[in-house]
């Protein structure tokens, strides 16, 4: 299992690579720029090349997460342009750092209806991928279905991807906490969940896993992560860690630790769960 956690790159990307090694992580996720801002960040090619080389030398897989502030389904033309520029900038930063994937949250329709929300999201992503032609891939993450969030179910995610002109450069990220909170994975529903997420058209495009427990209950549509084994997912989370789906893709933990060092315990626990199944 390739497993790691979300780390700060505040002290530089190369330092984050070192921290990953110290925590026993063979992968980590980072924000390519300030996650609470649309502001663009210039690409420092030299520094990025040093960071990319550090990750490569250490054998650490890196995954990037897009800013939270963006709504891919916004109907405001100015905000849409800002959003597109922000994501293109993130893709360029990722590419410079040798990262293959940028994870984005699905859009929010804000009361205008799912059809409108999906159409705008598709147009926005296609525009991003027209402006960015590099090798970095965009991954759509399943949501908890909080408020008017799109992308709760496998069918919804597939429909969004299939509508994209740029679909060949777009894949999926599956978050366990969001799956639980959205009702995709519920107590007693393990078999149905696995049937859904292993559908070939989805599994083939599933490139990264987010491993989080959930503070909210099943189907409550609230996105609140919990430490592994401390939330409401119980056995379901351990079951998921055993599953072959998690053995071939980077697994990233984004649980509410008090300090990054605590991720060492989270990673150790996940590895222990995985080992119990003999993987």
**Which residue ranges make up the annotated binding site for Zn(2+)?**
65, 105, 141, 175, 178, 210, 223, 225, 254
Stretch that binds Zn ion, among 29-37, 89-97, 219-227, 255-263 (CB under 5 A): 219-227
In the bound state, the residue with its beta carbon closest to Zn ion is 210
Stretch that binds Zn ion, among 30-38, 43-51, 220-228, 232-240 (CB under 5 A): 220-228
Would you say 221 or 268 has its CB closer to Zn ion? 221
Stretch that binds Zn ion, among 1-9, 128-136, 145-153, 210-218 (CB under 5 A): 210-218
CA-CA-CA-CA dihedral for 27, 68, 162, 246, to nearest 10: 30
CB of 249 to Zn ion, least distance (A): 14
Pattern 153-182, binding to Zn ion, x per CB under 5 A? ----------------------x-------
CA 208 and chain centroid, separation: 7
CB of 225 to Zn ion, least distance (A): 6
Is 210 one of the binding residues for Zn ion (CB under 5 A)? yes
CB of 47 to Zn ion, least distance (A): 27
Strand residue runs (E) in 14-162? 27-30, 61-65, 101-105, 137-141
List Cα–Cα distances, 221 to 159, 205, 224, in angstroms. Answer: 21, 24, 9
Exposure letters 12-47 (e unless 16+ CB within 10 A, then b): ebbebbebbeebbbbbbbbbbbeeeebeeeeeeeee
Would you say 90 or 223 has its CB closer to Zn ion? 223
Cα separation of the two ends of the chain: 8
Task: Pick the binder of Zn ion from 26, 95, 207, 223 (CB under 5 A).
Answer: 223
Is 266 one of the binding residues for Zn ion (CB under 5 A)? no
Is 213 one of the binding residues for Zn ion (CB under 5 A)? no
CA distance 60 to 81: 34
CB of 254 to Zn ion, least distance (A): 5
Strand residue runs (E) in the chain? 3-6, 27-30, 61-65, 101-105, 137-141, 170-175, 206-211, 213-214, 225-226, 251-253
Q: Which residues contact Zn ion (rule: CB under 5 A)?
A: 175, 210, 223
């Amino acid at each position: 299992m390739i497993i790691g956690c979300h780390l700060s790159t505040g002290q530089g990307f190369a330092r984050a690579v070192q921290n990953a090694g110290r925590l026993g992580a063979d992968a980590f996720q980072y924000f390519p720029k300030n996650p609470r801002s649309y502001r663009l960040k210039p690409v420092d090619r030299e520094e990025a090349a040093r960071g990319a080389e550090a990750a490569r030398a250490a054998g650490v897989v890196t995954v990037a997460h897009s800013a939270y502030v963006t709504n891919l389904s916004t109907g405001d033309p100015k905000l849409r342009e800002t959003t597109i520029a922000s994501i293109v900038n993130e893709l360029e930063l990722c590419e410079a750092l040798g990262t293959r994937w940028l994870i984005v949250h699905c859009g929010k329709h804000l009361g205008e209806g799912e059809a409108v929300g999906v159409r705008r999201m598709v147009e926005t992503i296609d525009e991003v991928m027209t402006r960015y032609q590099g090798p970095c891939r965009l991954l759509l993450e399943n949501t908890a279905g909080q408020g008017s969030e799109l992308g709760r179910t496998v069918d919804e995610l597939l429909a969004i991807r299939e509508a994209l002109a740029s679909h060949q450069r777009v894949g999926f990220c599956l978050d366990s906490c969001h799956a639980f909170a959205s009702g995709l994975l519920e107590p007693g529903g393990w078999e149905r969940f696995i049937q859904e997420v292993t559908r070939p058209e989805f599994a083939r495009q599933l490139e990264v896993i987010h491993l989080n427990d959930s503070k909210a209950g099943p189907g409550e549509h609230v996105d609140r992560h919990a430490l592994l084994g401390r939330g409401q997912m119980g056995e379901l989370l351990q079951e998921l860690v055993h599953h072959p789906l998690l053995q071939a893709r980077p697994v990233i933990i984004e649980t509410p630790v008090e300090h990054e060092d605590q991720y060492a315990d989270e990673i150790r626990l996940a590895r222990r769960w995985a080992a119990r199944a003999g993987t």
